[in-house]
Amino acid sequence: MELRSCLRSPLKLPITLTSEHKEIHCVVRDFGMGGMFVEVENSDLVIGSDTEINFSLYQDNGEKNHLLHATIAHSSPEGLGLSFSQPNTGSFRTLQELVKYTKKQNLH
């Protein structure tokens, strides 16, 4: 049964998760306005813990760094499901940039 409230778009993007002073490098598999799934091996992050998502997008005017806040929603052998937390205008704009990026990369 699908529990997501938002549709997901495929995306291959390297990111860094920061939680409790740990940095984990991983790759986004898909994302939506409510969260994302990241491919990561052997993560010791705990379900329910807060994390920061750091990534860069190359756009027409150069590279731009982005930061999102999320909560670890679920874990599987393939990776982690993240639910975006602390939604605000800046987070919404960042997610809009991701949508534009996927369209430019013909991933959407």
pLDDT for 41-87, tens place per residue?
877 888 999 999 999 987 777 888 889 999 999 999 999 999 987 77
Closest CA to 28 of 90, 94, 89: 94
Q: What is the mean pLDDT of residues 6-11?
A: 77
29-32 CB contacts, 8 Å cutoff, 24+ apart: 29/78, 29/79, 31/95, 31/98, 32/4, 32/6, 32/7, 32/8
Question: With left for phi above 0 and alpha for psi between -120 and 50, is residue 22 left, alpha or beta?
Answer: beta
Domains of the chain and CATH, by start: 9-102 (2.40.10.220)
